[in-house]
């Protein structure tokens, strides 16, 4: 790294930037190896028993950076809408996010806040039909596990560079918001409008587009079965 002057054009996905640096230093990928994020699923610890059988949707509302997190009110509304459509929603977060996950899960989800380390979180995501998440670490765990992502992506950094890599993804949020490409860590616009304006129904539509079925049939209005 001290004798290679390496430049990469803006916008190249971060995994490809890293691979290009390794190649410039004399270590390219083998010809038969496709660039992709990967995890050894046989080494993952079991998910908490509260997660239940695979096929659920994981919602991870938090982030270490304020601008990249899903607004709590939106996250709670998403849980409510997905639950009404028959999806079982697990809400995940770190030990310092227990209050956040409790508020979100109260809308009808299963609260796993503070109950998973990184390995257990990967195990939970591995069993998901999809992950609903902002621009934060679990999105890349999902990409490494081949789990589809509904990306609530604030445009403070380029999606093409920092979005989930080579996994089915639906991006939601205002890509042309005033915070675009600012790398802001605190929202410069009151109310976090680039994400708070997302309608929860669009998350449900994104799951349908990604082919994620509900865990149980949605209730029929009035109790009438057709």
pLDDT, tens digit, for every residue of 13-30? Answer: 999 999 999 999 899 999
In a domain, 194, yes or no: yes
In a domain, 83, yes or no: yes
In a domain, 62, yes or no: yes
- Which residues span the domain enclosing 203? 56-209
Q: For all residues of the chain together, what is the average pLDDT?
A: 91
CB atoms under 10 Å from CB of 219, counted, come to: 11
Number of domains in the chain: 1
pTM recorded for the entire structure: 0.90
> Could you tell me the CATH number of the domain that includes residue 189?
3.40.50.2000
In a domain, 192, yes or no: yes
d(CA 46, CA 42): 10
How is residue 88 written in tokens? 């079982």
pLDDT at residue 10, as a whole number: 83
In a domain, 139, yes or no: yes
- Reported as a single tens digit per residue, the pLDDT across 57-102 is 999 999 999 999 999 999 999 999 999 999 999 999 999 999 999 9
In a domain, 15, yes or no: no
- Reported as a single tens digit per residue, the pLDDT across 134-148 is 999 999 999 999 999
In a domain, 136, yes or no: yes
Closest CA to 40 of 130, 123, 133: 123
What would the mean pLDDT of 138-159 be, rounded to a whole number? Answer: 96
d(CA 134, CA 122): 16
In a domain, 134, yes or no: yes
> Using 50, 70 and 90 to split pLDDT, how confident is the model at 220?
low
Closest CA to 88 of 51, 119, 114, 115: 51
> Using 50, 70 and 90 to split pLDDT, how confident is the model at 219?
low
How is residue 55 written in tokens? 């096929």
Sheet containing strand 110-111, edge to edge, reads 110-111, 89-91, 57-60, 130-133, 149-152, 169-172
State yes or no: pLDDT of 225 exceeds 50: no
């Amino acid at each position: 790294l001290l004798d290679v002057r390496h430049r990469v054009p803006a916008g190249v996905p971060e995994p490809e930037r890293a691979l290009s640096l390794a190649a410039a230093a004399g270590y390219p990928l083998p010809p038969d190896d496709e660039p992709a994020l990967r995890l050894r699923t046989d080494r993952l610890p079991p998910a908490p028993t509260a997660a239940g059988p695979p096929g659920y949707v994981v919602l991870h509302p938090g982030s270490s950076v304020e601008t990249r997190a899903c607004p709590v009110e939106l996250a709670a509304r998403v849980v409510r809408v997905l639950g009404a459509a028959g999806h079982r929603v697990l809400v995940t977060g770190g030990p310092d996010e227990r209050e956040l996950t409790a508020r979100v899960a109260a809308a009808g989800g299963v609260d796993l806040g503070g109950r998973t380390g990184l390995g257990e979180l990967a195990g939970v995501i591995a069993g998901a039909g999809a992950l609903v998440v902002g621009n934060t670490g679990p999105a890349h765990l999902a990409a490494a596990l081949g789990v589809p992502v509904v990306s609530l992506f604030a445009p403070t950094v380029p999606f093409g560079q920092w979005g989930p890599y080579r996994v089915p993804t639906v991006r939601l949020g205002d890509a042309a918001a005033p915070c675009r490409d600012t790398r802001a860590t605190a929202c410069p616009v009151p109310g976090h409008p680039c994400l708070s304006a997302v309608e929860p129904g669009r998350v449900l539509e994104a799951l349908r587009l990604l082919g994620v079925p509900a865990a149980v049939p949605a209730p029929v209005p009035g109790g009438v079965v057709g």
